[in-house]
Amino acid sequence: MNVNNNIVISEHVPLHDKNWFATGGPARYFAAPTTAEELQEALAFAQKRDLELFILGKGANILISDNGFDGLVIQPHLKQISLDKEQSLLTAGSGVSMNDLINYCLNHHLIGLEEFSGIPGTVGGSVFINLHYFNFLLEQFIVEARVIHKNTCEIKIVDRSWFQFGYNYSRLHSEPYLLIDATFQLKPADDLMIAYAQGRRDEIIRHRQARYPTQKTCGSFFRNFFDHEVTLEENNGKKMIYVAYYLDKLGIKGQLQVGGAKVSHQHANMIINLGHATSNDILELARTIQLLVQKNYGIIPKPECQLIGFKEYPLL
C-alpha cells in the first residue's frame, strides 16, 4: 500500500525476524520511514484509521504476542548522523544502532559512549529506556533531542530535562511522543585516548559475551527492584535491589524451562528462546519465576522487557 507516494505501508508483515527473541506474530500494518516527513505521513495514516501504534527499534527489549500487533508498527529508519566537531556534539537519528554510533564516535576522535558497547538497540530504544550499564546512563550524554507528537505530528526540540530520565524510564513511556533524533555531548580525544577507548570497547564486548547470552533473548527480563519494594538488606545496610540476586538463590539458572523457553545457564535474569519457543512459552516461564520469587521472598519482579500486542497484561 502506498500513501502520498513517499511512505510505503505494508500489510501482514512478520515481526519474528525483527526482534531479538525471534518470536511473535505479524503486524497488521508496517512502515519504515527514512525521514521525519515520512514519519509524519505514517503517523497520519494511523491517526486517520484510528490504529494503535507501536514504534520498533531493533526489538532487543520487547516480547511480541503470538497473535502479533493489530495496528501500525513503525520502525524508524532514520539513520542520519551529523557532527559539530568544534563543540563535540553529535546528532543521531533514532534508527541508528548504538554500536554503529559508538564506532562512528571512535572513528571521529570522540569518546564516552563506548561504555555501552555490545548492547543491541537503536538510539530510539536506548533513549526510551535510558540505556544503562553499571554506573553509566545514556542520559549523562544527552543534551537535546527532536521529538514528534503521535497525534498532532508536531515536532519540537527539547532538552535533557524534558525527558525526566530515571532508572529504566524516560517521558517517552508515559507521553505520546516519539524520538526523531538525539544530540549527544561527547569528549574530544587524541590518538592515545582513542586507542584506550577502542581497547575498552573490545574488552566490554568480550566480557559481555563471556557472561551473558547474546542471541534470542531480550537481555534482562526483569528490572531491578526499587528501594521501597524490598526489605532485605546487604551487610552494608543497603537494600538488596538486584533482581538477579533473588533469582540466583532460587537455583533456576540453566534449569527452569517451559516449552522452548529456558532460563539461561549464564544469567538467572535472562530468558532464552532455544529455537522453537513461542512468546507464550516465554510468558509462562516468566510467570513461573514471578510466582517463585513471590513465594520465597514476598515480592514480585516486574518486567523490564516491553510486552507488545497483548489484549490483557499477561504477567503478575
Ligand X SMILES: Cc1cc2nc3c(=O)[nH]c(=O)nc-3n(C[C@H](O)[C@H](O)[C@H](O)COP(=O)(O)OP(=O)(O)OC[C@H]3O[C@@H](n4cnc5c(N)ncnc54)[C@H](O)[C@@H]3O)c2cc1C
Among 131, 142, 204, 293, binds ligand X (CB under 6 A): 131
* 33 counts as binding ligand X under rule CB under 6 A: no
SS3 for the chain is CEECCCEEEEEEECCHHHCCCCCCCCEEEEECCCCHHHHHHHHHHHHHHCCCEEECCCCCCEEECCCCEEEEEECCCCCCEEEECCCCEEEEECCCEHHHHHHHHHHCCEECHHHHCCCCCEHHHHHHHCCEECCEEHHHHEEEEEEEECCCCCEEEEEHHHHCCECCECHHHCCCEEEEEEEEECEECCHHHHHHHHHHHHHHHHHHHHHCCCCCCCCECECCCCHHHCCCECCCCCECCCHHHHHHHCCCCCCCEECCEEECCCCCCEEEECCCCCHHHHHHHHHHHHHHHHHHHCCCCCECCEEECCCCCCCC
- Binding of residue 163 to ligand X (CB under 6 A): no
**219 makes contact with ligand X (CB under 6 A):** yes
Is residue 55 close enough to count as binding ligand X by CB under 6 A?
Answer: yes
- To the nearest whole angstrom, how small is the minimum distance from the Cβ of residue 76 to ligand X? 5
What number of chain residues touch ligand X (CB under 6 A)? 33
C-beta of 267 vs 293, nearer to ligand X: 267
Is 61 near ligand X (CB under 6 A)? yes
| CB 32, min distance to ligand X, A | 12
Nearer to ligand X, 164 or 306 (CB): 306
Q: Which stretch binds ligand X (CB under 6 A): 151-159, 210-218, 238-246, 259-267?
A: 210-218
Residue closer to ligand X by CB (options 178, 258) is 178
Smallest distance from ligand X to CB 131, Å: 4
The reply to whether 119 sits near ligand X by the rule CB under 6 A is: yes
Q: Which of 34, 103, 288, 306 binds ligand X (CB under 6 A)?
A: 306
Contact positions with ligand X (CB under 6 A) in 79-108? 94
Q: Shortest gap between Cβ of 102 and ligand X (angstroms)?
A: 13
Q: Could you list the residues that contact ligand X (CB under 6 A)?
A: 20, 54-62, 76, 94, 119-122, 124-126, 128-129, 131-133, 172, 178-179, 212, 214, 217-219, 306
